[in-house]
Amino acid sequence: MQEKAADIQVMLEQFFPETPVPLHHQDAYTLLIAVLLSAQCTDERVNQITPLLFARADNPLDMLKLSIEEIREIIKPCGLSPMKSKGIWGLSKMIVELHGGQVPASFEALEAMPSVGHKTASVVMSQAFGVPAFPVDTHIHRLAIRWGLTEGKNVEQTERDLKALFPESSWNKLHLQIIFYGRKYCPARAHVIENCPICLKYNREKK
């Protein structure tokens, strides 16, 4: 398993040596908002909506000047807008009142905020603060199972398995490489094994 993981990592590095964060942002706060909005929404759609929101409020103090209803109206195209708008306003209030207006670089503090789960906190910790984390969403979970790297029944177990298989220093880049690879070569539907070098290699080896 360790050997397979190392081989897959080499392949991912060949295909995606550069891993720009797909969600447009300027700092930890705008990244946090963008990741929250990306739940059950495409990155492309989020990147269309965040400029409209950030033109009104790109920091927690300004966000609190908007009503939850105003936020909801702007972010409606991202889906789940009632929950997300309350979350954005609520976490902005916590950042101002508890953290001096700055996004805290702590899993515990981030996960205490409304609408911020472990995956969202992991993205912010890894991409905004450079802290090793391995954000596992349903896409990474699906690929890890497909590639035989985990038998995890949920994203939590898959995260533990992937952290055990890959060097900590690679986690922040690797989770993006897996996402990019999945989008281009290993989609959930209409997956053509001949077009997917990792599946082609390891499915052949199974036979």
pLDDT tens by residue, 120-153: 999 999 999 999 999 999 999 999 999 999 999 9
Q: What is the pLDDT of residue 67?
A: 98
Q: Read off the pLDDT of each residue in 80-89 and give the average, rounded to a whole number.
A: 98
pLDDT digits (tens, 9 = 90+) for 38-82: 999 999 999 999 999 999 999 999 999 999 999 999 999 999 999
User: What ranges do the domains of the chain cover?
Assistant: 2-19+134-206, 28-127
Positive or negative, the Cα torsion across 197, 198, 203, 206?
Answer: positive
Q: Is the pLDDT of residue 196 over 50?
A: yes
Q: How far apart are CA 98 and CA 78, in angstroms?
A: 28
Q: How confident is the model at residue 29 (pLDDT cuts 50, 70, 90)?
A: very high
Q: Is the pLDDT of residue 86 over 50?
A: yes
Architecture field, domain 2-19+134-206: Orthogonal Bundle (1.10)
Q: How far apart are CA 127 and CA 141, in angstroms?
A: 19
Q: What is the pLDDT of residue 206?
A: 57
Q: Is the pLDDT of residue 205 over 70?
A: no
Q: How confident is the model at residue 165 (pLDDT cuts 50, 70, 90)?
A: very high
Single out the catalytic residue among 119, 173, 201, 206.
119
Backbone angles phi, psi at 22, to 5 degrees: -70, -20
Q: Is the pLDDT of residue 10 over 60?
A: yes
Q: Is the pLDDT of residue 34 over 70?
A: yes
Please state, rounded to an integer, the average pLDDT across all residues of the chain: 96
Q: Environment class of residue 140 by beta-carbon count within 10 Å: exposed (0-12), middle (13-18) or buried (19+)?
A: buried
Q: Is 119 a catalytic residue?
A: yes
> How is residue 80 written in tokens?
């789940």
Q: Environment class of residue 45 by beta-carbon count within 10 Å: exposed (0-12), middle (13-18) or buried (19+)?
A: middle
Domain 28-127 has CATH 1.10.340.30: yes
Backbone angles phi, psi at 159, to 5 degrees: -60, -45
Q: Is the pLDDT of residue 207 over 50?
A: no
Q: Environment class of residue 11 by beta-carbon count within 10 Å: exposed (0-12), middle (13-18) or buried (19+)?
A: middle
Q: How confident is the model at residue 203 (pLDDT cuts 50, 70, 90)?
A: confident
CB 103 within 8 A of CB 131: no
Q: Is 76 a catalytic residue?
A: no
Single out the catalytic residue among 84, 137, 163, 207.
137
